Amino acid sequence: MNVTESDRDKKCVELYGGEKSKSFMLHLVRAYALPQNVKPVRKFKEGQRSRCATCGAKLADFEGMLNVGDTQVVTDEMMQELIERVDINHDMVAGNVRIAFEGDETSTCLCADCVKAVNKFAVNACAAGDPVINRTVSSMRNKANGVDDKPKYRYQSSTEVQTIADLPGFRELLAQSK
């Protein structure tokens, strides 16, 4: 059975909608939604699964895909040069096996089409105003741009207590201590 683009899209929505799978989908968004964080796997780490975490497609690492084995014909530099040509738009497929991609801080692997589906899901969820995905994506962007997005002192002129400084009496206390 062939997995179609709409199957992959549905799967992302389904994972995000599920009580137990929501955090897994958020994990995938964090790991895969920024294309610059996604790279083909050169060699699987011990215990890394050679299946796409969302569609279940069989995956191989880059070295397995090239099938170089121990022949040593391909130098490390050649390997590096070749792998840099592979991205989600320049996929490698051999029969029913596809190259594995890995994202930021994850041990899961996805096939190229599922990376695209996660990306599309994140874009759509942001456009639809999903606050959780919005926050996740903007925090990832900040991280990628080297911006520190740890919560800073926020003061809002509302009656709501936002920080310790908004507590009644805090400002007076501060004024007195000067």
**Residues making contact with Zn ion (CB under 5 A):** 52, 55, 57, 111, 114
Least Å distance, CB 156 to Zn ion, is 43
26 versus 97: smaller Cβ distance to Zn ion: 97
Among 122, 126, 91, 106, smallest CA distance to 49 is for: 106
25 versus 57: smaller Cβ distance to Zn ion: 57
Least Å distance, CB 11 to Zn ion, is 9
CA 63 to chain CA centroid, Å, is 23
Least Å distance, CB 113 to Zn ion, is 6
Q: Which residues contact 86 (CB under 8 A, 6 or more apart)?
A: 40, 62, 92, 99
38 versus 57: smaller Cβ distance to Zn ion: 57
Kindly calculate the radius of gyration of the chain based on its CA atoms and give it in whole angstroms: 22
- 127 — phi, psi (to 5°)? -60, -35
